[in-house]
Structure 1
Amino acid sequence: MFFHPENRGRSARHLKLYAYFELAYTLTDFCAAALFVVGSLLFFSEETTYAATWLFVVGSVLFGVRPSLKLVREVAYLRMGDYQDLARKLD
């Protein structure tokens, strides 16, 4: 099944791919949260409202990147020949 937690331990390649995507996921989360915090602080001053709005927009895009990373990881598993979970889901 897609997004099954046991996928990460199927092989050394799976483990390495999982680790890279987890790092990217965590960095994306951290950056999105940081942009929202800084954007919130910038809203305290009227002169920086425009910049704050852009930080919120970029942070929102990063929150959209999160599920995309998981989907790309699962597609990479399929490209590695991991069809078992997908085949079970289709049955």
Structure 2
Amino acid sequence: MKLFNHANRQRNADTRRVYALFEIAHTLVDFGAAVCFTIGSVLFFWPKYETPAVWLFTVGSVLFMAKPTLRLSREIKLYRMGKLDTLAERAEND
């Protein structure tokens, strides 16, 4: 087993559920970042809203940074779930 292996996602119902939940989280983060950047961009048209615009760009940047973190966390979780399956199979065979 290794990270970022498609088979890890399809191993059983639990891994498919974990994968789906992480995909939903990833999509929400992606959408949140896009909204922050879009609203921030519009706010830059008015000088009095520059500070909120900068904050929205900062929040959007943090959200974009969270995306690879979510993907790596998902893959580590799926990898560990596979390790538990392997240990369970070994215990059954002993």
TM-score, with length taken from structure 1: 0.84
- Please say which structure displays the higher CA radius of gyration: 2
Aligned to 2:52: 51
Q: Distance in 2 between matches of 1:36 and 1:72?
A: 25
Q: 5+ residue gaps in structure 2?
A: 85-94
**CA-atom RMSD, angstroms?**
1.4
- Structure 1 residue ranges, 4+ long, deviating more than 4 angstroms after superposition: none
CA-CA distance at 1:3 after TM superposition: 1.6
**Residue equivalent to 1:87:** none
SS of the residue aligned with 1:10? coil
CA distance in 2, matches of 1:28, 1:3: 20
Cα shift at 1:74: 1.2
The answer as to whether partners of 2:9 and 2:15 remain within 8 angstroms in 1 is: yes
Task: For 2:37 and 2:9, locate their aligned partners in 1 and report how far apart those are by CA, in whole Å.
Answer: 31
How many percent of aligned residue pairs carry the same amino acid?
A: 48
Aligned partner of 1:36 in structure 2 is 37
* Structure 1, unaligned runs of 5 or more: 84-91
Equivalent position amino acid for 2:79 in 1: L
